[in-house]
Structure 1
Amino acid sequence: MPTLAQAPARANEPQGRFLRPKVQVGEIIDYELSFAHAPSLDVIFPDSTAAFKPFEYVGKTYRPTRTRQGRSLDRTIYHLRTFSLDSVQQLSVPVTILRGNDTLTVATPPAVVRLARTAPIAQAEAPPVLRQDTALLPVASEFNYPYVLAAVGVLALAVAVLGLGFGRRLQQRYLRYKLRKNHVYFLAQYARHVERFTLSRSLTNMERAITLWKNYLTGLEDNGINSLTTKEIVALYQNDPDVRHALRLADKVIYANQFMEDEAETDLAFTMLRNFADRRYQSTITNYQLPSGT
């Protein structure tokens, strides 16, 4: 029979624990989520939209990834609170691991915390004596369904008119929101690959950064550059100096295995590709229009 102690840690899996054994109703408690993994893994911790039941999300404190002796450690402290009255409450959160085009979701072992009660426990008392009351009570009038149906019809008509007038604009705003969200995700993943390359000088990490850049622009502009050669990509973007210089330098490092003596030049190539992707995103979202007939 398991006790109320934290569940035993399992190797190579994300771990979660409360930083205090007890919490009061409505009081903020910190929950630490950590994951030690191989540096090659891409790991995504849950954000504010994740389910933390029976707890409510208040905020979080992010700790930068640390890589030592071939192991990377990701840590985040979530600030939660609960209004549940259960004496013992537990929490398990999902961690997403990216593997190419596939994703794997791994849940942490349940972490438990006790509820500290502040109100005294009521003593059992004898049930109250029931009294008979035969007095008539007033009865509410019947509900006027025709008026309600008429109001619902008017409301539905108003919604339909608004949908015809503003539906396209709302759809366009939603798709722009998706573009912004994808861009933020790309920048975060790209920065992680560049950081790993800087620490390890591994060609694999450089290839992953370049591939991520190509895939992002393919999705952003629907141009299929992830299947083009460097020469074709440079021609597609009209011999843009940032693209030309950065991709040729990357080819020199990846395929000729010629590392630059000056690491700043390699860092500059990564910066050029990131800035180019940012410019294409800004241009796309500024001039974005829904396809005709949508």
Structure 2
Amino acid sequence: MLKSWSLPGLLLLITLPAWAQAPVRANEPQGRFLRPTVRVGEVIDYELTLQHAPSLEVVFPDSTATFKPFEFVGKTYQPTRTRQGRSLDRAIYHLRTFALDSVQQLSLPVTILRGEDTLTVATSPAAVRLLRTAPLVSPNEPPVLQQDTTLQPVASDFNYPYLLAVVDVVALIAAGLGLGFGRRLRKRYQRYKMRKNHVYFLAQYARHVERFTLSRSLTNMERAITLWKNYLTGLEDNGINSLTTKEIVALYQNDPDVNRALRVADKVIYANQLVEDEEETDLAFTLLRNFAERRYQLTVDSYQLPVTS
């Protein structure tokens, strides 16, 4: 029976089992997917192993390696195990694919260090089959579209560029107002301060005069005259609170109201002479108040500001 076989047929019969088994050579890395199928975007694990002599140094691929058509997601290493003179290195790579090929393959290189020599050995390609979730559609029959007009909630984001634009516009407007109306605003503020100080002066001055009228106390009269001098010092910045009566009269060009009122005040305060006619002292207070009113009017006019009562 064996004689009927030709020589080529006998050779093929002898070599076929050996080719089908494909024994693994020593120091050859092995790679395989832990699942036979995968979906688009789904993570699948790829196992890479290598048995070698304990004296060899082995370097497995890291995240910078080429995993096409897959994408690298992560990896899990296991410590090297050595048993009966053989070491085993094992790593699990977590990959995913977005390619649409029905069958996808992957082969990874492993670097083996032998002293100063470096040897790179690649694994045999491992294949995985892609599971399609969308039904196949005939080219002549377009898919039926499903309409869905329901609005979905979307989180609103703060528009920072819009805010910056508004801030810039406001800053430009403020700068323009400051340049165009700055002088006027300063005058209005100055008017406000002057009016506030003037109202305060009149109120305090009237209180001192009233106390003097009731008590005829020299202290109250002295306080009223001091208040008058301090007010004009702040209003005109002339320092009359440190001047004598003669110097004040000369400063105001011998104003008759100031001259008369201050001389009556000097008689009462410094000479301790109360004038028998009370109307004389009351008139002195009135003259000083009226003079302060006129100086306030002149100061306001110098700022070209309207007087408000």
TM-score by length of 1: 0.51
Q: Is 2:308 the counterpart of 1:270?
A: no
Residue 279 of structure 1 aligns to a residue whose secondary structure is helix
Matches within 5 A, 1:1-294: 138-288=153-303
Q: Report the CA distance between 1:143 and its aligned residue.
A: 2.5
Which deviations, in whole Å up to 9, do the C-alpha atoms of 1:34-79 show, x marking residues without a partner? Answer: xxxxxxxxxxxxxxxxxxxxxxxxxxxxxxxxxxxxxxxxxxxxxx
Residue 275 of structure 2 aligns to a residue whose secondary structure is coil
* Structure 1 residue ranges, 4+ long, deviating more than 4 angstroms after superposition: none
Work out which of the two has the higher radius of gyration on C-alpha atoms and give 1 or 2. 2
Q: Distance in 2 between matches of 1:142 and 1:255?
A: 79
Q: Report the CA distance between 1:243 and its aligned residue.
A: 0.1
Q: Distance in 1 between matches of 2:242 and 2:235?
A: 15
Q: Distance in 1 between matches of 2:192 and 2:301?
A: 12
Amino acid at match of 1:264: E
Higher relative contact order (CA 8 A, sep 6+): 1
Q: Distance in 2 between matches of 1:238 and 1:191?
A: 26
Residue 252 of structure 1 aligns to a residue whose secondary structure is helix
Between structures 1 and 2, the one with greater helix share: 2
Structure 2's unaligned 5+ residue stretches are 1-150
Q: Distance in 1 between matches of 2:223 and 2:240?
A: 15
Q: Report the CA distance between 1:142 and its aligned residue.
A: 2.0
Give % identity. 84
Amino acid at match of 1:168: R
Amino acid at match of 2:217: S
Amino acid at match of 1:159: A
Q: Distance in 2 between matches of 1:184 and 1:219?
A: 14
Amino acid at match of 1:251: D
Amino acid at match of 1:262: D
Which deviations, in whole Å up to 9, do the C-alpha atoms of 1:115-144 show, x marking residues without a partner? Answer: xxxxxxxxxxxxxxxxxxxxx982343222
Q: Report the CA distance between 1:150 and its aligned residue.
A: 1.4
Matched residue count: 155
Structure 1's unaligned 5+ residue stretches are 1-135
After alignment, is 271-280 or 148-157 more displaced?
A: 148-157
Q: Which residue of 1 aligns with 2:19?
A: none
